A and B are shown apart, each in its own frame.
Chain A
Amino acid sequence: MNSSSRLACCRWVTAGLVCAAFGWGTALAAERPLTDDHRYKRDPVFVDAGTLIFVLQVRPEQLQLVRLKLADRKQQPVHKDETRSELEPAVSRDGRYLAFLQSRTAASVGMVIEDTREQKTAEIPPASGFSGMRSPAFTPDGKRVLYVFAEGGRQKVFSCNIQAGDRKLLVDVAGICNWPSVSTDGRQLLFGSTRDGNYEIYRAQAADGSEIRRLTRHRAQDVRPRFSPDGRRVVFVSNRDGNREIYVMDADGSNVKRVTAHPERDDYPAWHPDGKRIVYVSERKGRFDLWLRDVP
């Protein structure tokens, strides 16, 4: 066995021992794959309990939004004839609105808000030059979309209405903010920020971005926070144990628990509407698939 094989083998064995020691064996057994095509994917999000949308790299230069039915695992492109890359989808709670990013020209990305019932779209086009929004997220009432946009060297949290108008600045702190998520009651805002050095997770008042409170404190990167449907827990991603894994914590930052334990990367978690499970992208043996699992 060469050193590469030994390295890989050791990682699997170590992961197994860690799982056994922490009683994760049962939880691991409860996970199941939702895809088996192994292609690069990201950004899964549930539309309803039986449907999710995710991003699939269908060719080297295109990321495509794909709808997946859990019942039969059938996949269909959301926008069949679209040739531009689309990524980071967000869905309103009633499933009517879909927000996502859409590439335009070189390093130029716009944000589209689609009314799937009326077949209408609104958009925030990219600014001139290299520019792009990121991380759209709906408020629970489905009336506004939060997103981040960089200007002046800081990446800030904004919101707009579903006609892509009435743009308001919500959070403007030093560094880079990303991944806004609003609690189901509409009162609390989660986001990641580098305001204190590296990526940490913060909570603030959703109405105006005030009362910012830091929830994580670690030298590693704590990213991609999302409120559980009941607003009591937060799922996030961290490399605090060496590689990207998924964690949950209470909404006040306490009671952090590791959810995944694989030698490769687990990322892009999203809550199932039942609040008991998450879907995520797991890289295993160099391949990428969606997995669904219980949350301890």
Chain B
Amino acid sequence: MINVGQFRSRTCGGPSRRSFLKMGASLPLLMGRPDLASGAGADRGPRAKTVLLVWLWGAPSHLDTFDPKPDAPSEYRGPFSTIATRTPGVRFTDLLPRMASISDRFALARTHVSSQPGHPDAGTVALTGFHEKPGPVQPNFGAIVARHRGRTGDLPPFLSVGRGVIQDSVRIVEGYGGGTFGKAWDPFQVVVKNDGSVDLPALDLLEGITPGRISDRRHLLGQLDVARRRLEAAGIDDWERAYQMAYGLLSNPSARDAFDVTRESEATRQRYGHTHFGQSALVARRLVEARVPYVQLNWSQTVEAITPNYDFGWDTHIYNFEMLMDRHCPLLDRVLPELMTDLQDRGLLEDTLVVVISEFGRTPKINPRAARDHWPQCYFSLWSGAGVPTGGAIGQSDKLGEHPLTTPITPLMVGTTITELAGLTTQDRAELNVLSGGTVIDEFV
């Protein structure tokens, strides 16, 4: 089911500033900007027609998941046993048996480093390749791919699936969107509820218009005029394209269908699990299937509600081992293997790049609260599809998981590699003035 949202914070005099900010965060890529698409990538046939970035917000512990250190002292290694995987010489913790059973379908990179220890800053670095300060904030990798590729259909080229703009208790991750490209290149937000129903906040723009009433042209035009006058009065430019795109989404059943998981069989929905993250992943798979150029799938932000109104994610400063064991890893170990298997079964992995990554790792040494804190000096990612060699591990961390033993992988390298696989050349990036100085991860390109 798709819900067309309303201007919940609108004032009597029209949309409030808050409403416009909210719309600003969700609308811009309604404007596909096909004029700026180079088309070069398409001519060359990019290895990754679609990029699916799975964003493990909050930062999972690398030692307790994909880079365990069973021989480390007890104050480091944690309580979990390790299990063999299908990748020779690579073991995961026993929290991830299904991931271990499909490890031949992805590559594990174990030498990521970040320069920032705090979530929003590190999030921006991880998603743009550059620091927030002194600014300006650079565009998200998704915005870069979207701008290069342009809109290829009725769907926006950069979608973010989750509960909204990613944020911690203090502020949003500035690098979530268009950055220097402008808010026109922010992702189109797809808000998934626990039951799998979807809210598309951008369609708030067409207040009062529902797919069921769209055939009433007179009513539709009247509503559009009302909304247009409000927006123009507020000094918002270039909303004509937004209307067109929103109207396209509303009026084109096939475009709307891409968001509708109720079109999946119950068996499929059950395999993903009736959780927020599970159903979000299913929406993401449908968007990949619809060949959206870039999809960011965000970890359920409040997966365990131990902290009120706080997007806790994988940020396990307390209860790390209990939470990983009770909730996070069982959920991840259900959804990710299902997602990768489903993509493969549908023949989508051949030209879809899947990257699973976070903003940093967690302290190898257990903290005084018997948990783990932030650790930007070493963390992991998973890569699959688009011809990336799978079934191996790239790089190695030291015996305590504190630092890379081999070449560190920076966020700039991640972004350069993603965009390269998505069809952008060095020249393309230079022309867009993005990812300057970046190099690719050789093993993946």
Contact = CB atoms under 8 A, between A and B. Distances in A.
Question: Do A and B form a real pair?
Answer: yes
B35 interface: no
Interface residues on B, range: 35 or more
Contacts of B322: 134, 178
A60 B307 contact: no
Contacts of A130: 317-318, 369, 371
Interface string A183-211: 00000000000100111000000000000
Contacts of B314: none
B330 interface: yes
B399 interface: no
B94 A109 contact: no
Interface in B309-355: 309-310, 312, 315, 317-319, 321-322, 325-326, 330, 334, 338, 341-342, 344-345
Interface residues of A, number: 59
A286 B271 contact: yes
Interface stretch (B74-82, B289-297, B404-412, B426-434): B74-82
B425 interface: no
A60 B276 contact: yes
B135 interface: no
A174 B79 CA distance: 11
Interface in A61-84: 61-63, 83-84
A18 interface: no
Given A4-B271, A176-B321, A199-B79, A265 B330 contact: yes
Contact of A4 (B318, B342, B369): B342
Given A57-B305, A130-B317, A197-B74, A176 B79 contact: yes
Contacts of B319: 132, 134
Contacts, number: 144
A35 to B, nearest CB: 14
A223 B368 CA distance: 22
Given A63-B305, A103-B308, A221-B80, A132 B274 contact: no
A174 B74 contact: yes
A105 B307 contact: yes
B308 A60 contact: no
Contacts of A243: 97
A60 B97 contact: no
Contacts of B317: 107, 130
Given A4-B342, A150-B318, A286 B368 contact: no
B305 A60 contact: yes
B308 A221 contact: no
A243 B95 CA distance: 9
A7 B333 CA distance: 14
Contacts of A87: 306
Interface string B183-209: 000000000001000000000000000
Contacts of B273: 286
A151 B369 contact: yes
A221 to B, nearest CB: 7
Given A62-B305, A221-B79, A153 B367 contact: yes
Interface of A: 2-5, 7-8, 38-40, 42, 57, 59-63, 83-85, 87, 103-109, 130-132, 134, 150-155, 174-176, 178, 194, 197-199, 219-221, 223, 239, 242-244, 265, 267, 283, 285-287
